[in-house]
Every structure is written in structure tokens, then in C-alpha cells.
Amino acid sequence: MAKIEIPMPQLGESLTEGTIIKWNKKVGDTIKKDETLLEISTDKVDSEIPSSTSGVVSKIYFEEGKTVPIKTIIAEIETDASNVSQKDIPQKKEEVKQVETKIEIEKPISVSSPVQKLEKPQPGRFYSPLVLNIARTENISMSELEQIAGTGENGRVSKKDILAYVEAKKHGKVSSTISSSLSTQKIETTLKHVDSGELIKKYPQPQYEILQMSNVLQKMAEHMVKSVQTSPHVQAIHTCDFTEIAKFREINAIEFEKQEGFKLTFMPFIANAIVQALKEFPIVNSSVEGDKIILKKFINLGIAVASEQGLIVPVIKNAEEKNFLGIARNINDLALKTRTKKLQMSDIENGTFTISNYGVFGNIIGMPIINQPQVAILGTGAIKKQPVVINDAIAIRSISYFTLSFDHRIIDGAIGGQFLMSVIRNIENFNFKNAI
Amino acid sequence: MKTLTYIEAISEALWEEMERDKNVFLLGEDIGKYGGAFKVTKGFHEHFGEERVIDTVLAENAIIGAATGAAMMGMRPIAEIQFADFVSNGFNQLVNNSAKIFWRCNIPVPMVVRLPSGGGIHGGPYHSINPEAWFFHIPGLKLVAPSTPYDAKGLLKSAIRDNNPILYFESKFLYRRIKGEVPTNDYTVEIGKADIKRNGNDISIITYGTGVHWSLEAAKILEEENIDVEVLDLRSLIPIDKEAIFSSVKKTGKILIVHEDTLTGGIGGEIAALISDNCFEFLDAPIKRIASPDTPIPFAPTLEDHFLPNTKKVLSALKSLAKY
């Protein structure tokens, strides 16, 4: 029998403390190695902390809600081989349950619209001539069609299904957004109710409801206020034509997924274009300290994602070293980690530039706030078909509005504007030979 | 408006047309003094006299031949075939003479052959047939098959006034079973125009004659399940209203063809082919057919019930189409 002390883990290099959100075990409970002991919140991310050993939880030193410096002992586990091994088996059930709760973060699209989208496309499914006909007139690609859930026999997409889809799409419920696989479609942040204290007298129920801001929310508030106070934000906006990329994506969707095991989204194209533009304009990939500009020789590209826990910005590390496919794979990895709450501190720190993709919600223009200490952020709107004048003719093109918010302390309108145009140029003139 | 049975509507059309045009006359077996096997012409003999309401010998080739000759001479004969089954005896006259004379000799043949058709009356294999498909294939004939008193009267009047040989398929099952509103004043129903008997968006039934009634009943039942069925009554089989068929197909994408006639070689096959040819890209399901099985109609009432299409069979086909 041995006692193992459990310290508050250090979840990132810059962190000094963590808040205990929830103990998954009580004193006296048995725990297996790698089973979740508790959940911890830092100012950047919520994490589940697995047990480093099997045994019985003998002591818990801090209750839920306490913020504790790192390396402080927070619990104790007694290991006893014979004792543990017998109780090991029934624990399995619980493990399965936990896997289920982990996936909760990604809500299916159907939450906000009656149109079901399949998680995995179904190639080889039969489509009636009518459905194919409607798909053609409504400009629904084969890969898009494969994602519509059918209510007909054997999951067939019926006329009703596709018309409902078209209708929902028209109302922006399934808008063909820049769907980074990192995006979650409906975000429900669950905040705790506050039932006592001074405020409850001032704002009595049921006219009012008081919620406790989560750690992440409080830090977000702090960061945003600080950013607006620190950087004079200036915005430049321009359209970006995705028609060619949309076509390419349509043609290659199935082949790409077969090869890579994940869906080809618009996000790698955008990320790739930004990396190229940052190489051209290194000052946009910098930060400010006092009267010094710190140029960074690496590009860590963050992609802002709304999640159940709040805003998270997973980062593509050393994006400057990666080709298109590498970036695409990296984005998919991060998406997977976000979904399964497996993001490590190292996945979300040291970003040098950020993309904010509010297009997933159908918005076309936004004014993003710079993620300090960075000096610029690119906002991408939903890709929507629009009439566009090309060579004095009106064409229908897939257009997204890009907004660059930049820090006017060091980036003036000329640089900011040129940088934005460079990103757009890289997208509109994407060299497909390099893609796959 | 007044309410008439299907058979009264037919009688009225004959009566009014005979009053209107002295060239119109009737001929057939027992239609005179006896008033016809189904009493369609009861009272006609007394009113119009034996020269305009002619009792004939038991020979359909003679009836149709005489009618054809009279029509060529400018009369407007209406031949009654006592049971449609017997028209086969006049087949050569219809197919080789009535249908072709205008095309060969440029002499119009304005005649109507009334054909009391169909089962459901326990008439057995010789008194129950639906012979429309035999003539559907013959160029030169027009075929009509009304399903309501309104259409029965209006189509018969149009047929009598038309300058072509017309086969008028009347459902003896419907004779006294259905009633409907009919205008008091003179009116006609255009030959070649189908009629949407019920508007719907989910499934189209294309049918005629007795099939219309099974279809309407089944559609009504499916209302509860929120399945919206359209019932297109062809009314005319030749010329067939392609435009109406195609527009219904384009509206719903799912098609059920219903006829009482047997399946193989029935006109449902031709309708399916027309749809496939012209509306393939508007189909959301295979075209389905409800018809009688390919046997002579049985005499035993229970077997006959089993043999004929009915509301239940239509309902089950509609459900499977809805589910598809």
C-alpha cells in the first residue's frame, strides 16, 4: 500500500493556477489509471485530469470552485493492488458514459434547423431523377447531396427532403458557410445560477435571473477590454471570390475524403493564403512591447472557435513550414481535439495571428477584436452567391466578405489594406496543383 | 343545378341530343319497347318513335356496321352494345371500317358506341369486361370514360356532336351508385381534357372510370396521415391529355396509375411510358400501377371482390409510394 499525492497540474507554461470545476471521484471511490479524477479550468481552457495511478481516493484537499496554485497537492490516492483489481471491472460502464459526455460539445446541425445533415456523406446512395434534377437547378453539389439525411426508404433522399434542404438553405439555416471543421453549429454555454448574495435583492426573481460568469467568460471579458484599450482597431473590408475553390472542392470532395479520411473545407485555403501573406508582410506577424516591435520568425495561426466552454483559439503551430495538405491535416487534428475536449495548453498558446470565422453562423461582415498580443485578426463571413460585375458582365459568384482588424499603433492603412488584398489574391488565384 | 345518378345523366344526354338534332338516333338490342337492359332508354321509344329508337337483331357486327353506314350518310347514330364484352363481335366493323373510312375516303363517321363496361356487379366473365385497351391501339377512334354524372352527360353530348367514331365506356357499376350535380342548362365536356378531381402535392393518381372513386376514397383516408394525394381523372383516353398528366407528374414526382382493366397491355403501361419519355427527370419514385390481375374475371362474388382493384389496394400502393 502506498500513498500517491496528486498536485494541481501545470496546463501551460504561462499558467500559475487552476480552478477545480468538478471532482469526478469522492473520498473512498476507487479509480483506475487514466480515469478522470477531476476537471480543471484555467483562463484558457477546461481540461479533464486523468488519474496517474489506480487506487482509492483517500483525501481531497480542495473543494469545487477553489483556485489553487500549480503543484499544490490537491488529493491523495492510496494504491492497493488486491483491493483495486477486484473493483476494477464494474468501472468499465462508467468509462463508456464518460466518453459519451465528452462528445457533447458538438451539437448536430439539426438543433437549429429541421434539416438533418449526415455526419458522414453517403456516396453510392440512389438518387431519383427528380432529386438530381432539383440538385442541379438549385446548385447543390453531389458532395452536398450526399450529406442530406433522407427520410425515404433505405435513407433515400426524397423530393421533400431535398426541397426542405433547399428551403432551409435559402433561409440561411444551412448556408454554405466557410465551414471549418472546427466550428460547432450551436453553442449552448451552461452557466451556473446564482441564488444568493447582494445582487439577488437588487434583481429579484422571477423578473431577473443571475448567472455566474465562468472562468473562461471572465477571462474573455478581461482580454477583450484590454485589447480594445491597448490597440487602436482599424478595419479594412473586401470581398473574396471563392467560386473557383468551391468548384474545386466539389469535384475533389469524395476523392479527398477517401484519401485523407476527413472532409475538405474552405478553412485550409484561407489559412494557407494567410500564411503566404504573412510571409510577404512580416510586420503583421508581430507584437508590441513598449516602443519595440517583436517580429516573429514563425507563424502560429489561431482559428477562433465558439465552443460550449466559450471562445477557444486552437493554433496551427509553425504553419510557415506546412504545405496546403499539412495545414488541412493540422486543422482537422485540432477540430478532433476540440470536439473530444482533448486540447492541451500547448494547442492553444503562442498564436501569432488569428482567424475569426463568424461565417459559420451565416453572418457576412464582422468587426473582430484583436487577440492580444497579436496585431491583426482576419474575420471571414459566410460564402454566399452574389451578382458580381466581371468584365462589364454580371456573373453569379460565391462571395465572402473578409474583414481585417489591425493595430494602428504599428500597422497603417496602407500595410493593412495591402495585406488583406494579398490574402484575397492568394485565395482567388490558388494554385490547385499544390493542393492535393 | 340538379342531382342525377350516373345513369340518369346518360339518359338525359341522349334525350336532349335527340331533341336538339333530328339526325341523332339510337340502335341496339332491346333498347326500344323494353327500354334497354339497364333501362337507359326507358320511354324513348314512346317519345321518339321506332324509327329513331331501333331494336336490332342480336348481332353487334350488324349494329356497328349499320351505325357506320348511317354516319357516312350524315346521320348521328348512337349504338348501344348491351354489355361491352359483346363489342368483340363488332370488332372488324369498328377497327376496319368506322376507324378508317375518314382516313381512306375523307367521309366523316360521326357515331357513338355506348359500352356498359366493368365488373363489380357479379356478372361473371362474359358480362364484366373493360375493353378499352383493345381500341386504345386503333388510330381513328376516340375513347372516353366518364366517372361522374357531370362528365357522363357532358362527354356524351360532346361525343354525339363530334365528327369522329367515339367509343363511350360507361361504368355499369356506377350507374345507380353515385349521384352528382349536373347543370340544368345545356353544357358539354371537352373531349381530350382530363380533370383534376382532387388537388394534391405528394402523389398523383392517374385514373379514369371506377378508379376515380377508389382513388378519391383512398386520398381522403390519407389526409389524416398528412399525405396529399392528387387525383387526375383522364375522362378521355384517346386523345389522352398529355399536358395534364405531365403537369401533375411535375408537381408531385410520384405516380400511381389505377384502372379496373387487367394489368398487362392495359393503358396504364402506355401512360407510364409517356411519363418516362417526357418527365423522367421529374420522377421521385418508380411509376406504380394498380389494375386487375391477368385472368378472366371470376363469377363467384368473393373471388370477384378479390380480383377487382379497390380502395384498400389503392391505399396500400399510395402508402408504399409515400414511404419510398
- Which pLDDT score, from 0 to 100, does residue A101 have? 31
Instruction: From A413, A403, A406, A423, select the one nearest A288 (Cα to Cα).
Output: A406
Nearest CB among A128, A156, A160 relative to B283 is that of A128
Q: Is B80 within the bounds of a domain?
A: yes
Beta carbons of A130 and B283 less than 8 Å apart: yes
- In terms of Cβ atoms closer than 10 Å to its own Cβ (0-12, 13-18, 19+), residue B259 is buried
pLDDT at A45 over 80: no
B38: helix, strand or coil: coil
Answer for the pair A284, A375: CB distance below 8 angstroms, yes or no: yes
Q: With pLDDT > 70 as the criterion, what percentage of chain A qualifies?
A: 83
Domains in chain B: how many in total? 2
DSSP string, B129-140: ---HHHHHT-TT
Per CB distance under 8 Å, which residues of A are interface residues toward B? 128-133, 152-153, 156, 158-160
Residue A210: CB atoms within 10 A of its CB come to 17
For residue B283, give the chain A residue with the closest CA: A130
Q: Quick one: B46 and B94 in the same domain?
A: yes
When pLDDT is cut at 50, 70 and 90, the band that residue A16 belongs to is confident
Same domain, residue pair B13 and B147: yes
Supply the pLDDT for residue B16. Answer: 98
Mean pLDDT for A385-409 is 92
pLDDT at A54: 85
SS3 label, residue A166: helix
Query: What pLDDT sits at residue B180?
Result: 96
Nearest to B253 among A130, A153, A156 (CB): A130
Residue A81 has pLDDT above 80, yes or no: no
State whether B135 and B25 are in the same domain.
yes
Mark yes or no for CB contact B284/A153 under 8 Å: no
Cβ atoms < 10 Å from Cβ of B72: 18
> Distance between the two ends of chain A, CA-based, in angstroms?
56
A429 pLDDT higher than 60: yes
Would you place residue A374 in the very low, low, confident or very high pLDDT band (cuts 50, 70, 90)?
very high
Given B47, B122, B127, B137, the catalytic residue: B127
CB B293 within 8 A of CB B261: no
pTM: 0.54
Per-residue confidence (pLDDT) for residue A344, from 0 to 100: 81
CB B283 to CB A132 under 8 A? no
pLDDT above 70 for A244:
yes
Burial of A342 (0-12, 13-18, 19+ CB in 10 A): middle
What CA–CA distance (Å, rounded) separates A361 from A379? 12
Residue B96 domain flag: yes
Pair B12, B86 in one domain: yes
Average pLDDT over residues A421-428: 93
Distance from C-alpha of A353 to C-alpha of A343, rounded to nearest angstrom: 19
The answer on pLDDT for A212 being more than 90 is no
Cα angle at A97 between A91 and A100, to 5 degrees?
Answer: 150
* Non-local CB neighbours of B36 within 8 Å, separated by 6+ positions: B28, B30, B42, B80, B82
C-alpha cell at B256: 400511381
pLDDT category of residue A102 using cuts at 50, 70 and 90: very low
| Residues of chain B with C-beta less than 8 angstroms from the C-beta of A160 | 202
CATH number for B123: 3.40.50.970
Q: What confidence score (pLDDT) does residue A160 get? A: 87
For range A202-228, the mean pLDDT: 85
Distance from the A124 Cα atom to the nearest Cα atom in chain B, whole angstroms: 17
Q: Is the pLDDT of residue A22 over 90?
A: no
Name every chain B residue with its beta carbon within 8 A of the beta carbon of A133: 281-282
Q: Give Dmax over CA atoms of chain A in angstroms.
A: 83
Confidence of residue A85 (pLDDT cuts 50, 70, 90): very low
Specify the amino acid at residue B72.
M
pLDDT tens digits for B127-164? Answer: 999 999 999 999 999 999 999 999 999 999 999 999 99
CA proximity to B321, closest of B252, B243, B234: B252
Assess whether pLDDT exceeds 60 at residue A131: yes
* Interior angle at CA A180, CA A177 and CA A186, nearest 5: 70
| Residue B137 is among the residues annotated as catalytic for this protein | no
Query: Is the confidence at residue B111, as pLDDT, over 80?
Result: yes
Residue B252 in this model has a pLDDT that exceeds 60: yes
- The whole-number pLDDT of residue A103 equals 30
Are the beta carbons of B281 and A156 separated by less than 8 Å?
A: no
The answer on pLDDT for A113 being more than 70 is no
Lowest average pLDDT, out of A17-31, A184-198, B155-169, B173-187, goes to A184-198
Phi, psi of B181 (to 5 degrees): -80, 135
Contact A169, A175 (CB under 8 A): yes
Boundaries of every domain in chain A: 2-103, 109-170, 216-434
Of B280, B284, B323, nearest to A159 by CB-CB distance is B284
Cell 375516303 identifies what position?
A: B105
Picking from B122, B150, B182, the residue at the C-terminal end of a domain is B182
CB contacts < 8 A (A, B): 29
Instruction: Find the range with the poorest average confidence among A73-82, A201-210, A400-409, B11-20.
Output: A73-82
pLDDT tens sequence across A274-298: 999 999 999 999 999 989 999 999 9
The overall average pLDDT reported for chain A is: 81
The reply to whether residue B324 touches residue A152, judged by beta carbons under 8 angstroms, is yes
The verdict on B40 and B142 lying in the same domain is: yes
pLDDT at B200 over 60: yes
Taking every pair of Cα atoms in chain B, the longest distance, rounded to a whole number of angstroms, is 59
pLDDT digits (tens, 9 = 90+) for B17-42: 999 999 999 999 999 999 999 999 99
pLDDT band at A115 (very low <50, low <70, confident <90, very high): low
Residue A99 burial by Cβ neighbours in a 10 Å radius (0-12, 13-18, 19+): exposed
Rg (CA), chain B: 19
pLDDT at A86 over 70: no
Which class does domain A216-434 fall in? alpha beta
Q: Does B140 reside within a domain?
A: yes
ipTM of the complex: 0.75
Residue B126 lies in a domain: yes
Q: Are B62 and B134 found together in one domain?
A: yes
Q: Which residues of B touch A131 (CB under 8 A)?
A: 284
Q: Report the C-alpha gap between A418 and A404 in whole angstroms.
A: 11
Antiparallel, parallel or unpaired: β B255-262 and A376-380: unpaired
Task: Please name the fold of domain A109-170.
Answer: Dihydrolipoamide Transferase (4.10.320)
Say whether both B40 and B87 belong to one domain: yes
Query: Which region, left, alpha or beta, applies to residue A132 given φ > 0 means left and ψ of -120 to 50 means alpha?
Result: alpha
- When pLDDT is averaged across residues A398-420 and rounded to a whole number, the result is 94
Domain hosting residue B222, numbered range? 195-323
User: In CATH, what number is assigned to the domain containing residue B241?
Assistant: 3.40.50.920
Contact (CB<8Å) A130/B281: yes
Q: Which of the residues A125, A128, A131 would you substitute to probe the B interface, choosing the one with the greatest number of B C-beta atoms within 10 Å?
A: A128
Torsion angle (degrees, nearest 10) of CA A316, A320, A324, A327? -10
Confidence of residue B105 (pLDDT cuts 50, 70, 90): very high
A161 with B284: CB under 8 angstroms? no
**Alpha-carbon span A15 to A69, nearest angstrom:** 9
pLDDT over 80 (residue A413): yes
- Asked if B15 is an interface residue toward chain A (Cβ–Cβ < 8 A), one would say no
Residues B170 and B27 in one domain: yes
Segment A136-149 shows an average pLDDT of 84
Q: At what angle do helices A129-137 and A159-170 cross, to 10 degrees?
A: 10
Tens-digit pLDDT profile for residues B58-103? 999 999 999 999 999 999 999 999 999 999 999 999 999 999 999 9
Q: B7 and B141 share a domain?
A: yes
- Summarize the confidence of residues A47-72 as an average pLDDT: 85
Q: How confident is the model at residue A180 (pLDDT cuts 50, 70, 90)?
A: very low
Which candidate, A34, A32, A42, A57, places its Cα nearest to that of A10? A42
The alpha carbon of residue A134 is apart from the nearest alpha carbon of chain B, in Å, by 9
The arrangement of secondary structure in A2-103, i.e. its CATH architecture, is Beta Barrel (2.40)
Q: Which of residues 281-320 of B touch A (CB under 8 A)?
A: 281-285
Look at A153 and B253 and tell me if their CB atoms are within 8 Å.
Answer: no
Cell 460547432 belongs to residue = A184
Contact B284 A131 (CB under 8 A): yes
